[in-house]
Structure 1
Amino acid sequence: MKSIIKIMDDQDKTKEQLIDKVRKLQQRIAELERLEAGSRKAEESLQKSEEKFRSLVDSTDDSIYLVDRHYRYLYMNKKHLSRLGLIERQVLGREYSSFHSPEETNEFMKKINEVFKAGKSSMYEYNSRRDNRYFLQTFSPVKEPDGNITAVTIVSKDITERKKTSEVILQSIQDWEDTFNSITDMITIHDRDFNIIRANKAAEKMLGLPFLLPGTKCYKYYHGKDDPMEGCPSCDCIKTGMPVSFEMFEPYLNMYLEIQSIPRFDSNKKLAGLLHVVRDISERKKMEEILRAMSVTDELTGLLNRRGFFSLAQKQLKAAERNKRYLSVIYADLDGLKEINDTLGHKEGDAALTEFADLLRDTFRESDIIARLGGDEFAVVVEVAEPDSELVIKRRLEDRLSAVNIRKDRRYLLLISMGIVRFDPDNPCSIDELLSQSDKLMYANKKGK
C-alpha cells in the first residue's frame, strides 16, 4: 500500500515539474516574441533612418560617394551618378579607374591611401577634367567600433562659381595694383598716426621708402622731420576729415609739390587716415617763372617792360609809404634814336638801346627798379635818403655817359634827357602821377638843350 502511495506521490511531483517547465517555456516564448517584436521595430526604425539618410544624401547638391581600400565604389548618391551619367548598378563594386583617366586615378589613389594611413580627414581643391569644374573634396575615414578603417567617404562641393568669383576678385586686385603702380604721381596711404601703410612705385622711388613697416612716418619722408610739421594741411586733413589741395615748395625733397589729401573712412564711417596724392610740379613752376619773367621783361634789353615796371613800382610805393621812406622816380629819353635808325640802321639803333640799358644797370643797384617803357623811354625807381640825392643821381648818370662817349671808335653819342621827382611818404601819390611829373621835367630838359 505504501509503495502505491509513494508511486502516486512521485507521479504528482513529476506532473508539477512538467507543468512548471511548460509555464517557463511559455514565458520564454512570450519573451522571445517580445524581443522579436522589438527587433522588427528596430529594423523598421533603422530602415526608416536609412531611407531618411539616403533621401537627405540624394537631395544634396554635393557629390557623395564611398570607396573601399581597393578604390571600389560602395555607394554613390544621385548627384554624383548624374555627373557621371550612370545608374547605381553600373557603378557599385567597380573601381574608380573604370570611369577616370590614369592621371586622375593616381591622384585619387594617393588621397585615399593618405586617409587609410593617417586615419583622419583631409581636404583638397580639385579641377575635374571631365567638365572643367572646380570642387572642394573632403576625404573622411569610415571606422569600425574597434577603430579599424574600412572605407573612405568623399564629399565634393562644387565651388566653380566661387572659384570664378575669386579669380575675378584676384584679377581686379591685380589690375588695381598695376594701375596704382603705373601712376607717375606719388601716392601714399596713411593711417591716423601718420604712418605710411601703402605706397606706389613712384612714391617708393622718389621718397626712398624702405620696405614698409609700422613707424614709417609720412613727415619723416616728405619733410625730413621727426614730428608732424606745424601748419601742414595734410596733418589737418587727418584731424578734420576734410579734403585739401595745395601747392608748396619742399626744401627736403627740393621739389615744388601739388598735393591732394583725401580722407579715408572705415566701414563705420570713422576717420581711418588719408590718401595722399603728390605731383612733382617743379618743371611746371620753372616754366611758369620763365613765362612770368617773359611777360614782365623787355625782350631787347632784358630790363623790365612797362607791365613789370608798374607792377613792382606800385608795390615799392606802398612799402615806402608804410615805412616812411623816400623814393626818386627818373624818367629818361634816349635822344637821337631816330637819327641813328635812319642813318645807321635799326640794328645799330637796337645796339644803342641795349648799351644804354647796360649803362643803367651799372649805375643803379640791383634793388632799384629799372625798365624800358617802350621805344626810347626808360624809367627808374630808386630809394633815397639825402635831400640832394636827385642831384647825385643825375651827376652819376651823366658821368657814366661821358665815360662811354669819349671812346674814339664810337659812330654815335649816347645822349639823354631826363626828369627826376621825389616820392614823399607823407604826401603819397600814384606811380602814374610821378611818371607824369618826371615826364614833364624830361621834356623841359630836352627843350632846354
Structure 2
Amino acid sequence: MGVPGFDEKLRLSSRLVQELYHKYNFNMYDDIPYGYAVLKVIETGDDEGEAFFIYANSAFLSMTDNADVDVKGRSYREVMGYLSSNVYTHLCSAAHCKEKAVFFDNVRKDGPWFDMMAFGTLQDGYCAMTLFDTFSINGNSIENEDLAEADRVIVKTSKMIHSKDDEFDINIHRALRFIGDCLKCEKSYIIEYYHGQPIIRYEWQKDENIMDDDFAPELVMERIRYVEPLICEGQILIFEDIEKIRNESMPLYELLRSKGTRSMILAPYYIDSSIVGYFIIDNYNEKNIRVVKYLAETLAITFFAEIHSRRLVEKLTFMGIHDQLTNVNNRNAFNLRIQELEGMDCSVGIAYADVNGLKMINDELGHDSGDARIIKIASILSRVFLRRDVFRVGGDEFVVIVPDISKEEFETKIEYLKKISKQLENEESSSAADISMSYSLGSIWSDTCFELDALLKKADEYMYEEKKKYYKKVGHSR
C-alpha cells in the first residue's frame, strides 16, 4: 500500500531524525511507565498516508513487540505491518490540526489493544502517541479468566459503540472485531428478525478479504431453523465442539461442518418472551466457558439495547420532521430548512401549492376524500421535485424549497406542475357531486438566499392570486 511520493520502506533522513532527537532531548521519556512515541505524519487526504517514527521509548517498543528494535526514521507500516484507518485519522488530527484524541485500538492487526492518546507536538506535521496497557489483552485472548476481566471487555465494548454517534454502524463493526480479537474467534455477527425472517444486521470475520457465503440469507435461515428448537428460554447455546452434537442433530452438524464451524456461541435476545435476534460467535478459542457464557449473554443485551435504542431515536426523529398523512416533510422540517438556507449564497426556487376547493370536497364527499386529494398533491409534488424538498406546512398547503437549482430547470418544473393542475381540473370526480380537483401554485426563483423570508412571502402572495382567479372562475369562494 503506497503513498504518493513515498515508498513504504522509505525512511526519514538520519540527519533529520538525529537533529530532532538531540534538539528535543527525548531521553527524558525513556523511563516513563507507559508507551510514548513521536511521529512525523504524512497527510494525503485519505487513508493511504503514512507516519514515520522520530522516537519511541522502551515501554512503547516492548508493548508493540519491538523490543531492541531501532525504529527511528522507519515508517509505521514497516515497523507494525499495519496502520488502521482509525489510528491514522487520529494521528493526522493531532499532527496537522493539533486536536487531542483519546481512543482504543490495536497497533498491529490481530495484535494487542491499548488505550491510546495522540496530541500535537514539536511543530506542524508531528504528533506524540502514547499507549496505556490498562486493559491486558495479549495475543487476542483474555489473560485473566476472572469474570471481572470480562466486565472490562464489556465496558470497553460499550464505550466503543458510543465513541462517535454519527458512525454507529462503524462502531458496531469495530466492537465485533474487538470481541473477535478477545475470544480469538473467526466470526462474530448479529442477527435480527425482520418481518419474521432472520437476517444479518452486522457481521465481522477475521479474514475480511474472503467473501463468505455463510451470511447468505437462505443459509442464515437454515441455521436458525435447526438451532431454535435446541434453545431453552433465557439460556444461551454453546457448542464447544460440534462433534458432540453429531448424534443429537445430524442436519445441524452437517450444516455447521460444511461451513467450517467447529465451535459456536449463540445468545438470543428476547422482548416480551419472544426472540427478536441473536448474537453469534463462530470458532472461538477461549477455554473458560464461564467467561464465554457471561460475555455472550451480556454482550447480546448490550448490542441489542443499543441497536433498538438507536432505531427508536431514528423513528422519533423521522416522526418529528415528517407529515404522517403524506409522508413528506412537515412544518418542523420546513423551519429547519429555512434556518439552513438563510443567508446562503446559492440559488433557490420556492413554490407554494394549495388544494382548490378542499372545504367543498370535505363537505360533499367527506374528509377521507379530502385527505386522498391532499395525499395525491403531495405525491405529484414529490414526483416533480425531490421528496426531501417538499413540505406540508398546513392542512392543504405545501411549500417546495429547492436550493442550487437553475432558473430554467425550476421554471420548467413549475410549468409542468401547472399543466398537471389543469388536467386534474378537467377530470370529473366519480361522485355525483361532480367536484373537480386542482391546486393553485405560486412560485419565485432567486440567485441567492439572502432575503429568504421575503421570497417566501412573495411566492405565497402569487399562490393566493392564482387561487382568487380559480374561485372567480368556478363561482364559489372555497
Shorter-chain TM range is: 0.3 to 0.5
Q: Which has the higher helix share?
A: 1
Larger radius of gyration: 1
**Length-normalised TM-score, structure 1:** 0.39
**Length-normalised TM-score, structure 2:** 0.37
